[in-house]
Amino acid sequence: MVWQKYNGETIRSSINEAVEEIIKAETHLGNKLKVYIGTDSQVKRGIIEFATVIVFLREHKGGFMFIHRDRKTQRQSIKERMLTEVQKSIDIAYLLCPLLDQYHIDLEVHVDINTNPNFESNVALKEAMGYIMGMGFQFKAKPESFASTNCANKIVQ
């Protein structure tokens, strides 16, 4: 799985090693971090483009993110696509959880699903919330889910 920084630079180490390096460097600088994971997707000419982000926010000092992109060619309903986004975020959260726990860093999983039932993505809200919370993670949906709704969205547009 290939990850990059926002500037396009490829992360050559494993994502766990890269995240641990960031945690150590930011801690050394006296910064308190919080991590947010989210995924967004766009359908373009029958291809679904996904972007998963790991957003690092420094308390009162801005933030940065790591990005992973991938594509699927199979057709999916809106509900399937929303739940695929959730699965991609959960996979990364689950992978990073022991490391974040070790360094006492809070984690939230953000989904690009609207809490308003008038929006199409709402069809997946209950399942997404149950899945994420059932895995023991903090959950945020629109309009509070900036990692997926804003950060990952910028990558797939």
Average pLDDT, the chain: 95
Segment 149-153 shows an average pLDDT of 94
Question: pLDDT grade, residue 128 (50/70/90)?
Answer: very high
Q: According to the model, what pLDDT value does residue 132 have?
A: 94
pTM: 0.95
Instruction: Map tokens 């993670």 to a residue.
Output: 137
Of all residues in the chain, what percent carry a pLDDT higher than 70?
A: 100
Asked whether residue 1 carries a pLDDT value surpassing 90, the answer given is: no
pLDDT per residue as tens digits for the range 36-68: 999 999 999 889 999 999 999 999 999 999 999
pLDDT per residue as tens digits for the range 70-94: 999 988 999 999 999 999 999 999 9
Task: Specify the amino acid at residue 29.
Answer: L
Name the 3-class secondary structure at 74.
coil
Sequence-ordered list of residues with C-beta below 8 angstroms from that of 99, at least 6 positions apart, any chain: 16, 19, 20, 23
Question: 10 Å Cβ neighbour count for 53?
Answer: 28
Residue ranges of domains in the chain, CATH in brackets: 3-156 (3.30.420)
Asked whether residue 3 carries a pLDDT value surpassing 90, the answer given is: yes
Name the 3-class secondary structure at 29.
coil
Question: pLDDT grade, residue 157 (50/70/90)?
Answer: confident
Asked whether residue 148 carries a pLDDT value surpassing 90, the answer given is: yes
